[in-house]
Amino acid sequence: MRFVVTAVLALFLFPISLRAEDAHADWLKQFAYTPAKFDAQVEDRADRDDWKQVLVKFPSPVTTKVTENNTVHAHIFRPKKAGGAGVIILPIWKGHGLDLEFMIAGRLAKEGITALVMPLPYQFERAPEGHGSGDMTVSADLERTREAVIQAVIDVKRCAQWLVESEGCARERLGVMGTSLGGHVAALVWATDPEFKAGATVLAGGNIHELFWNESNETKDIKAELLKRGMTLDELAKQLKPYDAITYAMPSRKPGLLMIAAKDDTVVPIANVRALRDAFDHPKLIIYPGTHYTVGIRITDILSDLAGHFGRELAAK
């Protein structure tokens, strides 16, 4: 009798499983990128003992109605003694500048790793006149938010192409990382593109719909607007699922991933970090005391964590 019940359940659940796999396959197509030739402008920016900084501008593979958003601005830190590895760094949501990302890039470059800082869609120079950096990246306009996430993932892949073809990086020695919003995008790239061999997320987690609903100062206005429209948390979860790293996370992507979190973070609660970690089958997680912002006092330790992680994972074999 037990065998019969099990068999009947399998018959019912198997089609559901297939439908879920089909949905995932369709969703993954949104992030597809076919490498193609493109023009680029290169400008020298800074020259230090360990690295040289250049700004590279090239067209995004995705064209939007906002002209400014259609150009990727890649800030590259070229080590004076490059070792063939490269890491793409994605910024926080509404930062006033790229100081944090440049700090990380400088540290990686000091270790011989080529670092590329890529502002996300609608950030900094990519924001149209009259809009602050990041205002249009994530907002109550869920359609535009989804499109921005898709564009960000595809832009990362074009940046990877640049690192390989123009910066001398080996395709099998590329990494991706980000902090806060950048960390969520980096996690999505990591979960959906196995060609990246090392990844790191800082202050990022899974079940991103909950982050819109957790009453943090960063998202409370978005939540209020969505509530006015009659949006529920369950409906938001359905709409954001294709753009959440936890949807695609698998144990096979555990190796090479480092996660860093803040114990008392209310923007990205530790429960969301742990949910994403569980989905990846428990990669290394470092938890520092502090909030989403006060954890910054541990920046020296975090820089060492990141440099050590990418140095090990992207070392020449």
The answer to whether the Cα torsion of 180, 184, 190, 193 is positive or negative is: negative
pLDDT over 90 percentage in the chain: 91
Report how far residue 48's alpha carbon sits from residue 105's, in angstroms, rounded to the nearest whole number. Answer: 13
Give the pLDDT band (50/70/90) at residue 215.
confident
What CA–CA distance (Å, rounded) separates 149 from 140?
Answer: 14
Is 154 found in the same domain as 128?
yes
Q: How confident is the model at residue 20 (pLDDT cuts 50, 70, 90)?
A: low
Is there a single domain that holds both residue 231 and residue 111?
yes
Pairing of strands 71-79, 113-117: antiparallel
pLDDT digits (tens, 9 = 90+) for 122-158: 999 999 999 999 999 999 999 999 999 999 999 999 9
In this model, does residue 290 exceed pLDDT 60? yes
Kindly state the average pLDDT of the residues 69-73: 98
Claim to verify: residue 172 and residue 138 sit in the same structural domain: yes
β-bridge mates for residue 200, sequence order:
177, 258
Are residues 279 and 153 located together in one domain of the fold? yes
pLDDT at 33 over 60: yes
What is the C-alpha radius of gyration for the chain, rounded to an integer number of angstroms? Answer: 20
For 237, the token pair is 């979860």
Model pLDDT, residue 23: 74
Domain of residue 301: give its range.
Answer: 35-313
Residues 292 and 212 in one domain: yes
Side-chain half-sphere CA neighbours of 296 within 13 A: 10
Kindly state whether residues 165 and 26 are assigned to the same domain. Answer: no
In the beta sheet, which residues pair with residue 257? 199
Instruction: Check whether 14 has a pLDDT greater than 70.
Output: no
The answer to whether residues 134 and 101 belong to one domain is yes
25 shares its domain with 163: no
Provide CB contacts within 8 A for 186, sequence distance 6+. 88, 90, 176, 177, 178, 199, 200, 201, 204
Give the pLDDT score at 18: 46
Tokens of 84: 């063939």
Residues 137 and 251 in one domain: yes
Q: How many domains is the chain partitioned into structurally?
A: 2
Phi, psi of 70 (to 5 degrees): -90, 5
**Is pLDDT above 80 for 7?**
no
% of the chain residues with pLDDT over 70: 93
Strands (E), 217-270: 257-262
The pLDDT of residue 251 is 97
68: helix, strand or coil: helix
Between 19 and 197, the more confident residue is 197
| 145 in the same domain as 22 | no
Between residues 12 and 130, which one has the greater pLDDT?
Answer: 130
- Tell the burial category of 53 from Cβ atoms under 10 Å away from its Cβ (0-12, 13-18, 19+): buried
Q: For residue 286, what pLDDT is reported?
A: 98
Residue 6's Cβ-count burial label (10 Å; 0-12, 13-18, 19+) is exposed
Same domain for 150 and 8? no
Pairing, β 71-79 against β 51-59: antiparallel
The per-residue pLDDT of the chain, averaged, comes to 94
Q: Residues 84, 105: one domain? A: yes
Give the residue-averaged pLDDT of 61-73: 98
Q: Could you tell me what percentage of the chain is helix, strand and coil, using 3-state DSSP and rounding each to the nearest 5? A: 45, 20, 35
pLDDT band at 16 (very low <50, low <70, confident <90, very high): very low
CATH number at residue 145: 3.40.50.1820
